[in-house]
Each structure stands twice: as C-alpha cells, then as structure tokens.
Amino acid sequence: MFKIFKNAARYDRGQLFPYLIAILVVVIIVAMITVNLGQIGVFKTDVSNAADAGALAGASTLSGYLLGLGFQSEKMCGVGIVALVVIILAACTVIGILVAILAYVALLIKQYITLFQALEDGKMAWSNAKKTAFSYAFQNAGIDEPRPTFKTFLKKVYGIDPDSLSIEELAKKNRIYALGDDPSAGDLRYKIKEHAQSRFSRFMELSEYWHEDEWGEIKPGNISPSIVTSSYGWVDAENGENRVTVTVMGNIMYPLKLYNPAKDMGEKIRDWIKERLNLPWYLEWLLDAYVGLMVGLLGALLPMGLSFGKDPEDVRAQTDNNPITVKVERYKRDKNLGLWNFRYGTVQSQASAHAYGESDPDLRIHDIKPLLWDDVFEWIARLFNSEAPDFKIMDTSKHLFEVELIMVR
C-alpha cells in the first residue's frame, strides 16, 4: 500500500505533451495558411503591377507622339505666317499675282503632305504604344521560368564537364553564362544564348509577343488591330504548368485636321471688344453675328490658306477619353506541399491609362494646335494696353502631356 501511494505522486507526469502536440499542429497549420496567403498575395500583386506598368508605358509612348505634334504645329504655323505675308506682298503687283498663286498652291501642297505624314505617324504611334505595353506587361508579370543550369550550359554548348575545366576557364565560361551572350563566339553565339538564357528571355529579346505576320511591322502605313492578344506558357518540374496572357486594347490612329485659326482669332477679338466696351445686349448679339459671319467667310474663301498647324478632331476625345487598356491573365498550377496546397489558379487584372495635356496656372490646357497665333494676339493686346510686350516665339513648353492611370481592376 505504501509503495502504490508513493508512486501516485508521479501519475501526472507527461500530461503537457498532448497539449504541446496540439499547439504545434495548430501553429503549423496557421503558418502554412499565412505562407499560402502571402504567396497568393504576391502572385496577384505581380499581375496587377504588370497591367499597370503596361498601360502607363503605352500611354507614355502616346504622350511623346502628341508632344511631337505640338512641335510640328508650331513650326507649320511659323512657316505659314511667313508664306502668307509673302503671298499678300506679291499680290500687290500685277506680275506678283502669278507668284502669289504659285506660293499659295505650294503652301497647300506642303500642308497636305505634312498632314498625311502626321496621320501615318499616328498609326505608328498606336502600334508602338501597344507593343511597348506588351513588353512592360510581360516583364512585370512575375514569370519565374528557370534558366538552364551552368552544367547543362557547358554540356549543350561546349560538350564539356565543369570538373574538367581549370579555375580560369571555369570563371571565363561562367561570365559568359551570367551574361547570356558572347558577341565574339561567332557561330556558337546563337547556341550560347539558347542555353544560357531562359526561353522567356529569348521570347522578349526576339519580340515574339508581337507577331509581324499577324499584326504587321511598326512603320507608317500599317494599322495594328484595336485588340491584340499574346500569350507565353511554360512547364517546369517545380511549378508545373504556367501561362501569362496579355491583351492590349486601344485606338488604331489619331484623326487629325489642319488647324484654321480664323475661328479662334475671331472669338478672341470679340471677347477683347466685350471686355473693354460696355455694350448693350443687342449690340453684343450683333457683334457675335458679325464675327460669326466673318469667320464663316474666311473659312469658306480660304479653307486651307489659313490652316497653320494640326488639330485633332476633338482634343478631349483623343486624349482624356482615349485610353490604352492592358489586361493581364496569369495561370499557375496549384502546388502541393503535402500538408497544404498553394491555391493559385487563374488571376487577372486590368488597367487603363491615358495621355492628357498639362494645365498652366491660367488653366489653359496644353494642346497640339499651334499657340503662335495666341502669342501674337496677346502681344498686340499688350501694345494697345501700353504694357511691356512679353512675347515668346514658339513656346513649345505649352504642348506637354502627362500620363495617369484612370482605371484599375
């Protein structure tokens, strides 16, 4: 009896062990869930970043084209003003009338040629924007395809084993492998790139996401489709099946027209008169009618002779409301780690971005049409008001365009 009673004090030993096992199981499960959610979060973030980067890159390409249009418009405006002065002076004499007519015809031809070139460049700008969007979307999609190992590289390219090389030769070959290229390798260069780079690197380097046989080359005259889709897929032992699909949606060209300053100048003159003269309503109505009539006559008599520069059909419709949209879809097979599956599946993200004109402190939105006429009118107005003229010829800083994301989902 005494021996049994003496050992009874140690009957509760080891009772903490089952609780430790239970807690350990819970900790492992929570850790696996946390890691799983973190991996999925990174997976979704990569897809979202790819769509954002593609849309912004495409819009940046468009903003550069619009800035170039602004420069061209100012140049056309300056040349047109000089040509118009020459035409007027030449027409003052009988002999100069023929010269004036020839100069006028030459001005029309030159402006039409410039307009058609701008239209062709507009097609190329949208094609370039879509190709740029593809490039940035694929680069940021988190494609983790493994590249061939150094040992495989040596065997496939040179047919040698790394153990047979000296330290100097091994270091030299490793540098080539790290760079993924060797311009001095001659006929072996293609083989080096094939086995030192991942297949995705070659896919990007060769621009295989842009199929020239399907969408054409990027040059004036070719129009890319409004919706273009490309995919890249791979299978590896670690991650299994993977696939990235990128779809880029956007316009195919910029509809442009030659800029006629008659309407803008007529409105400026009318507003300038109204600001300085306190006219009754019926005289204001009469002034509006007179300015409208004069603008109409100028537009009818000299529809192209007063067209200096370029202007979109609707600047808001072609900038603020004309985005480039990128949709990225990423598929990754679930990964089984024994205790828990990494649930990937298909994730997609979509982003839209546009190029829009900056705004000056006076709230004047930057545009592509020439501002030289506005500067001349402002200079004349300063003279009438006895103010010091502050005249800048061809202030191209007023044709700047920014880019921004307008939709992400």
Residues 340 and 33: beta-carbon distance below 8 Å:
yes
pLDDT tens per residue, range 130-139: 999 999 999 9
pLDDT: which is higher, 311 or 218: 218
DSSP 8-state class, residue 396: G
Is 22 a member of any domain? no
Residues 153 and 177: beta-carbon distance below 8 Å:
yes
* Tokens (6 digits) for 374: 């506005």
Average confidence (pLDDT) over 135-164: 86
State residue 232's pLDDT score: 93
Is 382 a member of any domain? yes
Of 235, 237, 234, 240, the residue nearest 334 (C-alpha) = 240
Average confidence (pLDDT) over 127-149: 90
3-state secondary structure of 352: strand
Is 10 a member of any domain? no
Q: Do the bridges between strand 240-249 and strand 256-258 make them parallel or antiparallel, or are there none, so unpaired? A: unpaired
pLDDT: which is higher, 97 or 12: 97
For residue 392, name the pLDDT band (cuts at 50, 70, 90): low
Per-residue pLDDT at 147 exceeds 90: no
Is 283 a member of any domain? no
Q: How many domains does the chain have?
A: 1
- The least confident of 32-41, 120-129, 208-217 is 32-41
Average confidence (pLDDT) over 311-330: 85
Domain housing 88: 40-146+198-260+303-408
pLDDT: which is higher, 297 or 215: 215
Q: What is the DSSP string of 147-166?
A: PPPHHHHHHHHT---GGGS-
Is 181 a member of any domain? no
Tell me the percentage of the chain whose pLDDT exceeds 70.
76
Is 281 a member of any domain? no
Residues 200 and 243: beta-carbon distance below 8 Å:
no
Q: State the distance between the two ends of the chain, measured CA to CA, in whole angstroms.
A: 78
State residue 1's pLDDT score: 47
Residues 139 and 246: beta-carbon distance below 8 Å:
no
Is 192 a member of any domain? no
For residue 327, name the pLDDT band (cuts at 50, 70, 90): very high
Is 131 a member of any domain? yes
Mean pLDDT, rounded, of the chain:
78
For residue 325, name the pLDDT band (cuts at 50, 70, 90): very high
Average confidence (pLDDT) over 236-257: 84
pLDDT tens per residue, range 286-320: 877 877 777 666 665 554 555 667 777 777 788 88
pTM: 0.77
State residue 135's pLDDT score: 94
pLDDT: which is higher, 34 or 267: 267
- b/e per residue 238-265 (b: at least 16 CB within 10 A): ebeebbbbbbbbbbebbebebbbbbbbb
Distance CA 137, CA 347 (A): 14
